[in-house]
Amino acid sequence: MTKVALLFPGQGSQYIGMGKKLCEDYQVAAQTFDEANDILGFDLKKICFEGKMEELTKTDITQPALLTASVASFRVYMEEIGVTPQFSAGHSVGEYAALTCSGAISFADSLKIVRKRGLLMQEASEKALGKMVAVRGLSIEAVEKVCKILSTTDMPVVVACYNSLKQNVIAGHSKAVEQAVNQLEQLGGTLIPLKVSAAFHSPMMQTSADELRYELDRVFYDSPKWEVISNVSGLPYTDNLNMIDSLTEQMVKPVRWNETMMYLQQQGVGKYIELGPKAVLSNLLKDNDRNVKTYLVEDKLDVTELLQDFDLEGRLAIMTKCLATAVCIKNRNWDSVAYHQGVIEPYQKVNQLYEALRQEQVKPTDEQLYLAFDMLSSVVRTKKVPIEQQKELFKRIVEETGALSILHGLEESEWVSEEELIL
């Protein structure tokens, strides 16, 4: 099966109406928003669905809203698709959603943390000393060089987000950022001011980071069910203490999103599924590779396409496993005629069928999967594989491919009733 990564967006993805369609289509999403309302003590759902943008964009509202929308999307994904990912990653506040959905932090604790995080960031914004600007059209080396020249202890300017090969974000003291903008524009860059008045992910957030650490220390952390990538390192978390350190440092250090995406590509991820409002992270991925395949759970059509894609992959994987097992098992039968009839002929027949289906991207039917299992049954019998080993082989295929529902249809077939290999 193709490796799967779940992506959770950060601040800037919010919009009025986010999550509303999801809640109308899926009860589990509506329940998630109701749960958030109870935990937070105010009507977050109403703000998201029909509030004013001025209220939703307040950082202390935005962050729990994004977390809730992302967790709602994840629960829909698990209920409708149910394919466990190998990786998850979230951009800035999205990292809390990635950890929550992996089981590392409870939804209730995560909501309380991001609510506090948002309040701390909102306080920093009200001081109006900081600024953030997106930069496109320049190499990261050029952007880093300008920041290094202009940055001082009192008026820092740094790269706050390494978003993609084409986009980065700088942050820092307003005066230093303005100086950097002037120089970067002269170098040919396109500069886009962000609608925030604080320098997130920069040294100017150190006081906020120290206060957040106190909140992070009060929460129970569990081991994630799959790899979760840290914004600070661009690599997977290693332990629970590492989570506290990293989430604290995330306030003052850059989001290494591009490095995160490079890591996932190196690990062979083939499906990127964005869980939350809009498709900001999918678009950043396409900055690096236009052909990368992404899905948005907020879009019901994408959910349907995902179901079809996973069903195709899963069924082809069953055939692949049967063919690979047939080749790998040891032969104990030296009767060449029996071997040709019981091993070579059925194997070639199924292999030809598999290659045709794979090339045409056609989903195997139940009957074609039955044929693959019948082929393997013929091979193990002909090769005189001991019964206990036969049982173990078929059991492993069932566990690794999720083929149990298909195999229920084989109860009356000769190899199942005769050898009692499964069920």
Active-site residue list:
92, 201
For residue 273, the SS3 value is strand
DSSP secondary structure of 350-402: HHHHHHHHHHHT-PPPHHHHHHHHHHHHHHHHHTT--HHHHHHHHHHHHHHHT
Q: Is the dihedral of CA 334, 338, 339, 342 positive or negative?
A: negative
Any idea what the Cα angle at residue 363 is, between residues 358 and 364, rounded to 5°?
Answer: 90
What CA–CA distance (Å, rounded) separates 284 from 264?
A: 14
Strand duo 167-173 + 157-162: pairing: antiparallel
**Rg, Å, the chain Cα set:** 26
Number of H helices and number of E strands within the chain?
20, 9
Please check whether residue 157 is in contact with residue 179, taking contact to mean a CB–CB distance below 8 angstroms.
yes
Strands across the sheet with 167-173, in order?
157-162, 167-173, 130-136, 190-193
Cβ neighbors of 367 (< 8 A, separation 6 or more) are: none
> Contacts by 321-325 with C-beta closer than 8 Å and gap 24+?
321/397, 321/400, 321/401, 322/350, 322/372, 322/373, 322/375, 322/376, 322/397, 323/347, 323/350, 323/351, 323/354, 323/372, 325/376, 325/393, 325/397
Q: How far is CA 81 from CA 160, 260, 364, in A?
A: 35, 24, 19
108 Cβ contact partners less than 8 Å away, ≥ 6 residues apart = 39
Q: Token pair of 251, please?
A: 């306030």
